[in-house]
Amino acid sequence: MQRVRPGGTLIIRARAGGCVGWLNIDKPMTVMGEGRFDPRDDDFAAPITLQAPDGAPCMTVARGVRVQVRDIVFASPRAGDAACIVSYGGEVVAQNVGMRHTGDEAAIYADGGLLDLRDMRVNADTVAPAVVADGATLRTDEVYIAGSSSGQEVVPGAGGQTQINRTRIIGPSRQSTFGPRAIGILVRAMRDYGEIAITNSKVCGYPEGIVVEGATVRLDRTRVCKADTAVSLHGGEVSIENSRLVAETYGVAVVAGQATIKNNILADVSRRAWYQENRGVIVAEGNRVWSTSLCPLGYQPVYGNRFAPVWSGGGGQGYTCMSYPYPREWWRRDESSLGVAYDPRVTIPEYYDQFRTGYGWYDCRGRFISEGRYYGEDRWSRGSQGFTRECPRPRNYGSGYGGGYRNSPWSDGYSDYDIDFDAGFSYGL
């Protein structure tokens, strides 16, 4: 380290196993391993592994110092109370870097400055967030984080907009019953009311997917799955567009602040699509929902004793209930690898496929009546009205009863577009 001039390059070579040491960087430099590390490699196969001494960090960066790190794996198997990478007001730019961290603190901790992570894989066994950017400008692109009780904690700094792009954050297979809240991404604001953009990313396996406390956050083309609540807002503003939210209880919960929710996919919600308290404001439109709880199956009279299935719900709440099974491809991309069994998330009546092609109808008891004489729109205006003892003619039945429903209840008018990434590689997909 002492021989490297400011702005120079330190090349780490290993001839007999991994290196054990602590890099204390107090001048600008580039640190690189001999060879190349591929972050797509699940086994962390790399020519160079730098292992921290027990209870010590792997690398510390002094204030005002810029360091670039490439093609190396950091390991801190017995870190204790130490983070693996620590920066106090420095600038850390890491590319093609792997991390294996086991300890009580974050794998990466930045207090101020810049933290720029690209093509990086972080496996962290810790009750703390894997990555903490406290007042630092955070930029991530093509980053995979797995194993930690929480994914990222971000307090945006004043050095520019924080950007989380093409980042996959996957929770542990079993959540701890003690310690801090298990959150995929936690965004807190300083006095400067920080801003953050989360795009083309995936957060899965945390009870609270994304939590915003006083900041301004924009979510676009981002997927949250296997959550209890996908997005929670406790002050500030959040904009959610073109994203897919799969949560057990609430899609978006707004305690305070304003949430704008447009053109998203919501699935598996059992209580409410949106939860709002007195100090919260929700603006929602153009969203689609797959949920047997929010969208119960019913039957709409169309012509006499001929009914069409409808999925009620969403009226005036900014979402439309879907009438076909949740696409298996979406489940495969997000939840299959997390041990979640496939669920169509909609109640489909018997012979619904035949009904959709224009044949038959349902009676007042929800039984399918197969009838080939009347096809398409003709089934709603021709032939006997079919009243029976089980389904008698209503007392006030007249022209206009049941005959005014003509808006193809089996068609939702949407295409099955997917929420996907521009990524060159996709972890967990």
| Residue 403 included in any domain | yes
Q: How confident is the model at residue 176 (pLDDT cuts 50, 70, 90)?
A: low
**Cβ neighbours of residue 364 closer than 8 Å, sequence gap 6 or more:** 299, 301, 305, 307, 390, 391
pLDDT exceeding 90 applies to what percent of the chain?
A: 68
Residue 206 predicted with pLDDT over 90: yes
Alpha-carbon distance of 192 to 261, in angstroms, equals 25
Residue 29 or 427, more confident: 29
pLDDT for 189 equals: 86
- Yes or no: say if 208 and 231 are a contact pair by the CB < 8 Å rule: no
pLDDT for 118 equals: 96
| Residue 30 included in any domain | yes
Alpha-carbon distance of 239 to 261, in angstroms, equals 6
The mean pLDDT value for 346-350 works out to 93
The CA angle 141-145-150, to the nearest 5 degrees, is 120
CB atoms within 10 A of CB 281: 13
pLDDT for 395 equals: 78
Selection from 179, 174, 181 nearest residue 153 by Cα: 181
Residue 156 predicted with pLDDT over 70: yes
- Yes or no: say if 266 and 289 are a contact pair by the CB < 8 Å rule: yes
Per-residue pLDDT tens digits for 214-272: 999 999 999 999 999 999 999 999 999 999 999 999 999 999 999 999 999 999 999 99
**Cβ neighbours of residue 322 closer than 8 Å, sequence gap 6 or more:** 288, 289, 290, 295, 311, 346, 412, 414
Q: Please report, as a single letter, which amino acid is at residue 80.
A: G
| Residue 54 included in any domain | yes
Residue 16 predicted with pLDDT over 80: no
Q: How confident is the model at residue 401 (pLDDT cuts 50, 70, 90)?
A: very low
| Residue 111 included in any domain | yes
| Residue 296 included in any domain | yes
The mean pLDDT value for 194-206 works out to 93
| Residue 267 included in any domain | no
User: Among the listed ranges 140-144, 352-356, 408-412, which one has the minimum average pLDDT value?
Assistant: 408-412
The CA angle 144-273-223, to the nearest 5 degrees, is 15
pLDDT for 98 equals: 93
Alpha-carbon distance of 323 to 289, in angstroms, equals 9
pLDDT for 296 equals: 92
The CA angle 86-199-100, to the nearest 5 degrees, is 35
pLDDT for 363 equals: 93
User: Among the listed ranges 6-10, 71-75, 199-203, which one has the minimum average pLDDT value?
Assistant: 6-10
| Residue 219 included in any domain | no
CB atoms within 10 A of CB 194: 23
Phi and psi torsions of 107, nearest 5°: -70, -40
Alpha-carbon distance of 239 to 235, in angstroms, equals 13
Q: What is the DSSP letter of 342?
A: P
Number of domains within the chain = 2
pLDDT for 44 equals: 67
Per-residue pLDDT tens digits for 59-81: 999 999 999 999 999 999 999 99
User: Among the listed ranges 33-42, 48-57, 149-158, which one has the minimum average pLDDT value?
Assistant: 33-42
Q: How confident is the model at residue 177 (pLDDT cuts 50, 70, 90)?
A: low
Residue 348 predicted with pLDDT over 80: yes
The mean pLDDT value for 307-320 works out to 87
| Residue 327 included in any domain | yes
- Point out the domain boundary residue: 124, 148, 172: 148
CB atoms within 10 A of CB 258: 17
Alpha-carbon distance of 167 to 151, in angstroms, equals 11
- Point out the domain boundary residue: 148, 163, 193: 148
- Point out the domain boundary residue: 113, 148, 183: 148
CB atoms within 10 A of CB 356: 14
Containing 75, the helix (H) or strand (E) segment is strand 66-80
Per-residue pLDDT tens digits for 96-133: 999 999 999 999 999 999 999 999 999 999 989 999 99
Alpha-carbon distance of 429 to 425, in angstroms, equals 9
- Yes or no: say if 48 and 12 are a contact pair by the CB < 8 Å rule: yes
- Yes or no: say if 362 and 355 are a contact pair by the CB < 8 Å rule: yes
User: Among the listed ranges 108-117, 152-161, 186-195, 202-211, which one has the minimum average pLDDT value?
Assistant: 186-195
pLDDT for 268 equals: 94
Selection from 138, 40, 58 nearest residue 102 by Cα: 58
Alpha-carbon distance of 3 to 24, in angstroms, equals 13
Mean pLDDT, all residues of the chain: 87
Buried b (16+ CB within 10 A) or exposed e, 101-126: bbbebbbbbbbbbbbbbbbbbbbbbb
Q: Which domain holds residue 109?
A: 1-148
Selection from 272, 275, 226 nearest residue 247 by Cα: 226
